[in-house]
Structure 1
Amino acid sequence: MSSKMQGYLFVLISMCIWGGFTIFSRLNAQWHISAWDITALRFALAFIILMPILIYRKQTAFLWKKEPFILAMLGGLAYCLTAYSAFNFAPAAHAAIFLNGCIPLCTALAAYFLFRQPFDRHIWLSLIIMMVSIAVMTYLLSQQSAHPFGLGDGLFFLSAIWWGTFTVLLRQSSLTAWQAMCSVAIWSALIYIPIYLLFLPKHLDQAEWSHIVIQSLFHGVLVVIVATLTYVEAIKRLGAFKTGSIVTLAPFIAAIIAVPLLNEPLSLAIVCGLLGMGIGALQPWRWFRRSIV
């Protein structure tokens, strides 16, 4: 298999997992697994898998630096707690718009405020498209309700801010993909699990064991470990823009799948939001530039 074909295989795996994240996170609300519980399950299982590997390979030194801890607090705990909580208040389509659609924008804003990286014309064009789509969606939703947006939408946008900041700091760090992934999983577990066990509410007794096992394996193994590694391998073979563009499609596809699968509504307003945020995030006009790798 050629390097390019390997890249498409890796990006397909990442895409399936990222799309599944939207569906499985929404299922948590139906399966009575709270954001506190799924965050604990996610990082506990990843810790149990990864820590023995690092100890065996004597590769724990990088964990005790400042960078791994900061990345874990942003891309691990803060992101997970707000994103998982948001799915209890908003449908999957809203996640595609306010979380995944806003991540490129929040990443660009974080790069500007933290490192003074200017916006190029592609970012400005994306920003205009996103703002127009949100304005149209807001108008259409306001015709149906006096309060078109809720707590879930705000939490999704806050999650996009956490992930955008995490992405920018990760790019500036000296950590490899393996080290970054281990840092997020291990430090998140070390900080969060004791707090969860001692102080936070637990509702796992209300969920079925089969659901707990499914969610633990999906979020703790596929999302934390597999998707991170396949995404990085895809970037090496296809380039950052093409890989990011393909993977960004996954949550939007998941939002469409959620309509029949989870019986979620898909109004004209949400369709406008999905299309606008999807175009703004993907920047399809750049696909036709010869400089893209």
Structure 2
Amino acid sequence: MSRGTLIGVAALSGVVALWSAFALSTRAIEGAGLTTGDAAILRFAVPALLLTPWIPRTLRAVRGAGAGALGLVLLAGLPHFLLFAWGAELTSAGLTGLLVPGTVPLFVTLLLFLRHRTPVSRRRLGALAAIVVGVAASAMLRGGTADLGGVAVLLAAGLVWALYTVGLASLRLDLVSVIVVISVTSAIVALALAVTGVLPSHLLAGTLPAPQIATYALVQGVGTGLLSTACYVLAVKHLGSSLASSAGALSPVLTAVVAVPLLNEPLTAGLAIALALIVSGVAVFHLAPRR
């Protein structure tokens, strides 16, 4: 393989591992002694601090950005994280890692069709049908701690991420500026909610052990906030968007498998069927022609 291909494969492997780590660590928030507010602060404050030198440039760039698109992009910050964490608490790491990224293509296609009447090829329609059946299987054949309410919350998180994706396509900001906007605004709001008591926080109370702080700052702040985005950009650049998006569907599989020994979550028949349907649907969707 060429040097570029090797870089792309390594970056894509990082994407799969980091996305899986995000789902697993979010599911393990309560078991680690953190509150959702603690995890939110660490998730957004770390990249905000690391990217502080880029804040003045981002503020200048934001003035020329569309307000509507910018509002949609901000949904990818604290609103998406809170929905993701809530759904993870109500269900399992396997379902959390599966339903949110797995339903984004479905919601994006629906949003584009409603807004622009964008046509969809037959293969993509078949892939979307497989995703819908997979979601239904995850809800009807659920097991363990999964329930319908948690599935509904995860679907809402997928819809929010789809709205962010649509907004990002029309936003006139570079990648670093987008990360700065999301991280800074979400960190400020999360801190405000924690200070007022809306989001309880052991971190602000000074009762959170240092190892937990360091672990979540590394996994959520650096891993999810910075490295996963950089790795995905590299993967798309060296392998192409279709292959990168399709291989990214491996993340739910890794999450479900690792959750068995790490979190003692069973790999139920319903989850296995949903995995097969949704992952294959996402892969076919990205590899199929658009029209």
Q: Taking structure 2 as the reference length, what is the TM-score of the superposition? A: 0.87
> Which structure 2 residue ranges, 5 or more long, are not aligned?
none
Alignment of 1:78-97 (within 5 A): 78-97=79-98
Query: 1:196: how far off?
Result: 2.9
Alignment of 1:45-64 (within 5 A): 45-55=46-56, 58-64=57-63
Contact 2:40 2:187 in 1 (8 A): no
Q: Is structure 2 residue 245 aligned with structure 1 residue 247?
A: no
Q: Give, as a single letter, the amino acid of the residue that structure 2 aligns with 1:198.
A: T
Moved more, 231-240 or 170-179: 170-179
Contact 2:8 2:234 in 1 (8 A): yes
Determine which of 161, 168, 182 is the counterpart of 1:163.
161
Contact 1:28 1:34 in 2 (8 A): yes
Moved beyond 6 Å, runs of 4+: none
Once residues 150 and 98 of structure 1 are traced to their aligned partners in structure 2, the CA distance between those partners, rounded to angstroms, is 12
Q: 2:43 is matched with which residue?
A: 42
Moved more, 202-211 or 77-86: 202-211
Query: 1:68: how far off?
Result: 7.1
SS in 2 for 1:60: helix
Output the aligned Cα RMSD. Answer: 2.6
Q: Structure 1 residues 225 and 67, CA, compared in 2 at 3 Å: closer, same or farther?
A: farther
Q: Give, as a single letter, the amino acid of the residue that structure 2 aligns with 1:60.
A: L
Query: 1:148: how far off?
Result: 7.1
Q: 1:101 is matched with which residue?
A: 102
Calculate percent identity across the aligned residue pairs.
22
> Which structure 1 residue ranges, 5 or more long, are not aligned?
none
SS in 1 for 2:51: helix
Once residues 165 and 201 of structure 1 are traced to their aligned partners in structure 2, the CA distance between those partners, rounded to angstroms, is 25
Q: 1:198 is matched with which residue?
A: 196
Query: 1:244: how far off?
Result: 0.8
Q: 2:151 is matched with which residue?
A: 153
Q: 1:188 is matched with which residue?
A: 186
Contact 1:29 1:87 in 2 (8 A): no
Alignment of 1:118-129 (within 5 A): 118-129=119-130
SS in 2 for 1:212: helix
Once residues 116 and 175 of structure 1 are traced to their aligned partners in structure 2, the CA distance between those partners, rounded to angstroms, is 26
Once residues 285 and 104 of structure 2 are traced to their aligned partners in structure 1, the CA distance between those partners, rounded to angstroms, is 16
Moved more, 227-236 or 205-214: 205-214
Q: 2:269 is matched with which residue?
A: 268
SS in 1 for 2:249: helix
Once residues 225 and 61 of structure 2 are traced to their aligned partners in structure 1, the CA distance between those partners, rounded to angstroms, is 19
Query: 1:242: how far off?
Result: 0.5
Query: 1:200: how far off?
Result: 1.7
Q: Structure 1 residues 139 and 198, CA, compared in 2 at 3 Å: closer, same or farther?
A: closer
Q: Structure 1 residues 137 and 39, CA, compared in 2 at 3 Å: closer, same or farther?
A: closer
1:209-265 C-alpha deviation (Å, 9 max, x unpaired) = 311221122111111111112211221221111011112211221111101111001
Q: 2:134 is matched with which residue?
A: 133
Alignment of 1:5-24 (within 5 A): 5-24=6-25
Once residues 221 and 132 of structure 1 are traced to their aligned partners in structure 2, the CA distance between those partners, rounded to angstroms, is 35
Q: Taking structure 1 as the reference length, what is the TM-score of the superposition? A: 0.86
Query: 1:132: how far off?
Result: 2.9
SS in 2 for 1:243: helix
Once residues 120 and 236 of structure 2 are traced to their aligned partners in structure 1, the CA distance between those partners, rounded to angstroms, is 22
Q: Give, as a single letter, the amino acid of the residue that structure 1 aligns with 2:156.
A: L
Contact 1:68 1:184 in 2 (8 A): no
Moved more, 274-283 or 61-70: 61-70
Q: Structure 1 residues 203 and 59, CA, compared in 2 at 3 Å: closer, same or farther?
A: closer
Once residues 254 and 54 of structure 1 are traced to their aligned partners in structure 2, the CA distance between those partners, rounded to angstroms, is 34
Q: Structure 1 residues 223 and 96, CA, compared in 2 at 3 Å: closer, same or farther?
A: closer
Q: Structure 1 residues 135 and 157, CA, compared in 2 at 3 Å: closer, same or farther?
A: closer
